[in-house]
Every structure is written in structure tokens, then in C-alpha cells.
Amino acid sequence: MVGAIYALIALGYTLVYGVLRLINFAHSEIFMIGVFVSLFSMHAVGVEGPRTGLALVLTMAVVLLLAMAASGAAAFVMERIAYRPLRSRGAPRLAFLITAIGVSLFVQEVFALRYGRNQLGFPRVLTKEPLFSLFGAPVRTDKVVVFLAAVGLMVGLDAFISRTRLGRGIRATAQDAETAELMGVDVNRVIALTFVLGGVLAGAAGTLFGIFYESARYNIGFLPGIKAFTAAVLGGIGNVRGALVGGLALGLLENWGATVLGGEWKDVFAFVVLVLVLMVRPTGLLGETLGRARA
């Protein structure tokens, strides 16, 4: 379940890198916006306790759609204001990196000023009672719902990239932007779409994260963002399916490490595994870029 959330966030990193060769470190704040909008949406629809049946489905749909729309819009605005002017001026890659860090800190501080620096609690919308038992281990309802929702979104993105005209435009731009433009692809539109797609998935991840952990804070995106970037690198940065594999692998590995070594070693174990994998295979587990993987 944790790995599925990492994978959703990692897809935003890998999509932008595949098209622009840019690491958008402000993507963690797009995720954070999704968490906050989910919290506000739950209060708006009057969530005061666990829901079931049709009420749960409608609540989840409304909250997910609002968070995805807000994060997608935020990512679009970020691309237009922060990154497109740099591209039009031919700025060096270091300028993009510094801008991404600056945008990340700016958004964090805006939310800290508006909502404070303390942790905010979520209303509980999903019961945490065991749904069934697997090999003697109880499997909770909220974990099943979060995992299935995340997997469904990831499968949907993979189908969109592989089978639609806009997906072909993204693949063409990732493979060779200049040639794609000569063939009639609107590269600026494709880049904006890439940011929006990554933002939409980060908003969904924010909703699922909030539903499970039931907390929101101005800097809540920092650690999941770093983990998701690690997952993208582990799977193969710029590879959509690599982000999926990397996210799921990282979630499983860090929880296994926490079980064996103790919870305080969870983050250390995850990054040690990453270093070891990259020593053997520097391009990640799958290793191909977005353009080559789907060409």
C-alpha cells in the first residue's frame, strides 16, 4: 500500500524528467496540496465518521476528483510561471533546479502562514477493521481500498501513454522534441499536459495518503517526495513502468527492513538498497527512458 502511494508520486517525477530532463523537486508540494484539498473536501461534504456502501463511493469520488483537479491546476500554473519562461530563454539546467527548490520552499511557507505549522487531523472516512486474513495476517479495509485505487490510477496512466494520441505526443517529445515539433506536435502543450498528469496523480496520492495516515502539515510532502524520487530512480528515471516497479519495490523493502531491523532503520534501509542497486545497475531496474520505452 505504501509502495503504491510512492509509485503514484514517482510518476510525476518520471514524466517530467522523460520529457524535459528536469527533476521537479517542487512536485512534493503538489502532493502536499492534494493532501490539504482532501482534508478541506472531507469537511465540506460533512465526513464525521467511517462510511460504507454508496456513501463511501460517492465521498471517495468527490474527494479524489477535487484533490486531483487542484493538484493538476497547481502543476499547470507552476509550469507556466516558473519553468516556461526559463525554457523560452534557453536557461541552463541548473537554473531549473534552483527554481524548483525555490518554488518548493515558497509553497511550503505559504501554507505554513495560512494554516500554521502544527499537524492537522483528518476525519476518518474508512474503517480500519480487518477485512480478511491472509496467511494469518489481518488485512484492513483502508489498506485494500488505497492499494486498489492507486493501482487503478497507475494502470489508467499506462493505458493513456500507450494508446492515446496525446500519449503518442508525450512519447515523441520524450524521444526527440525537435523532430516531434517538426512533425506537428505542439511541444509546449505536451509539456503542460505532462505537468498536469503528474499533478493529477500526485493529488490522488495526497488523498490516499491522507485517508490512511489521517494527518496534514505544511511540509508533509517532503519525505514522501524524497521517497518517490528514490523510487523513480530505483525503477529507472524517465520510465513510467519503472516508476511503478520502483515505488512498489521501495514500499515493500522499507517495511521489510523496519520489521527486521526496527522502525528507526526503515528510511536508512530503503536508501541503502537504492545505493546497492545503482552500483550494480546505474540506470535503475528497467533503465529505459519514456521515449525509448514506448517508441
CA distance 97 to 42: 35
Let me know: does 268 contact 276? Beta carbons within 8 Å.
no
d(CA 136, CA 148): 21
pLDDT in tens, the chain (295 residues): 899 999 999 999 999 998 888 889 999 999 999 999 999 999 998 888 888 888 888 999 999 999 999 999 999 999 999 999 999 898 898 899 999 999 999 999 999 999 999 999 999 888 888 888 888 888 888 888 889 999 999 999 989 998 899 989 998 888 888 888 888 889 899 999 999 999 999 999 999 999 999 999 999 999 999 999 989 988 888 888 888 999 999 999 888 888 888 878 888 877 787 788 878 888 888 876 665 444 3
Looking at residue 237, the DSSP 8-state letter turns out to be T
Residue 255 C-beta-side C-alpha neighbours within 13 Å: 11
Sheet strands (E) in the chain? 120-121, 130-134, 137-140, 215-216
Domain ranges of the chain: 2-128+137-219
Going by C-beta distance under 8 Å and a sequence separation of 6 or more, which residues neighbour residue 183? 172
What backbone torsions phi and psi does residue 186 show, to the nearest 5 degrees?
A: -80, 95
pLDDT digit string, tens, across residues 103-113:
999 999 999 99
Q: Which residues contact 182 (CB under 8 A, 6 or more apart)?
A: none
pTM: 0.90
H/E stretch holding 250? helix 240-261
Q: What is the DSSP letter of 139?
A: E
